[in-house]
Amino acid sequence: MKLYYFPLSTYSQKAIMAFHEKQVAFEPQLIRLFDESERKAYREIYPLGKVPLLILPDGHKIPESSIIIEYLDTHFETGTRLIPDHKDLARRVRFTDRINDLYLNDSVVTLLFQSWKPEDQRDQELIDRNRERIDTVYRFMENHFEKATWACGDSFSMADCAAAPALFYARQLAPFDGRPNIQAYWRRLEARPSYQKVAEEAAPHLAAMRGNAAQ
């Protein structure tokens, strides 16, 4: 199985965490999203140009991080169960996965892209709207993690794979310092070996990106 990905991409990190959690091997195929010619070539493989993308040995393509995780969890019995068998628990995992993707991750990435622009070219209305959205998710999370260990209760799931990469970038862009329960959740996430592997691979790319931004 070949996985197209970029080490700094939150959605790639989410899918790769799932591979590690499931203890499933894959052939990594890095796409440098900052390189226009690589992006153009990649759009020949997947016209939407989004990573991650999984290619099965028979050539079948599976895009979208949550769908890749569904595939892994359905086809491999090994490692962590990421979507529970119990139908209502599974629905809760899928719901929280959507919240973490659409309202936390996407909002954090919007703030990240805005932060790269010169100050006078930033869209303040867009920034405010996304900060508000993140704040709403944080309020829900802070309340939830007063009692819960993971996004959907006692067991680590797909929804936690979705949260970890988003919270990594959120620490700088929308800090959760005043929210002890989210902080404790973040510490549990970053201690997870699946996350540590993803963070290790991202580190040199992050340093290079920060170096370029400082120039």
Ligand X SMILES: N[C@@H](CCC(=O)N[C@@H](CS)C(=O)NCC(=O)O)C(=O)O
User: In sequence order, what are the beta bridge partners of 54?
Assistant: 3, 62
Total residues binding ligand X (CB under 6 A): 12
Strand order of the sheet with strand 2-5? 27-30, 2-5, 53-55, 61-63
∠ CA 187-156-143, nearest 5°, is 60
Q: Tell me the residue type at 23.
A: Q
Q: According to the binding rule CB under 6 A, does residue 64 interact with ligand X?
A: yes
Q: Which of 49, 79, 112, 181 binds ligand X (CB under 6 A)?
A: 49
CB 146, min distance to ligand X, A: 28
Q: Which of 3, 16, 18, 33 binds ligand X (CB under 6 A)?
A: 33
Q: According to the binding rule CB under 6 A, does residue 51 interact with ligand X?
A: yes
Could you tell me if 19 and 2 are in contact, meaning their C-beta atoms sit under 8 angstroms apart?
no
Stretch that binds ligand X, among 48-56, 87-95, 121-129, 140-148 (CB under 6 A): 48-56
Stretch that binds ligand X, among 9-17, 113-121, 138-146, 181-189 (CB under 6 A): 9-17
What is the torsion angle, in degrees rounded to the nearest 10, for the CA atoms of residue 52, residue 118, residue 114 and residue 125?
-160
Q: Which of 17, 20, 65, 108 binds ligand X (CB under 6 A)?
A: 65
The span from the CA of 50 to the CA of 68, in Å, is 13
Q: What is the DSSP string of 21-57?
A: HHT---EEEE--TT-HHHHHHHHHHSTT--S-EEE-T
Q: According to the binding rule CB under 6 A, does residue 130 interact with ligand X?
A: no
Q: Which of 7, 9, 166, 192 binds ligand X (CB under 6 A)?
A: 9
Smaller CB separation from ligand X, 50 or 205: 50
Please give the residue ranges that form the binding site for ligand X (CB under 6 A): 9-11, 33, 49-52, 64-66, 101
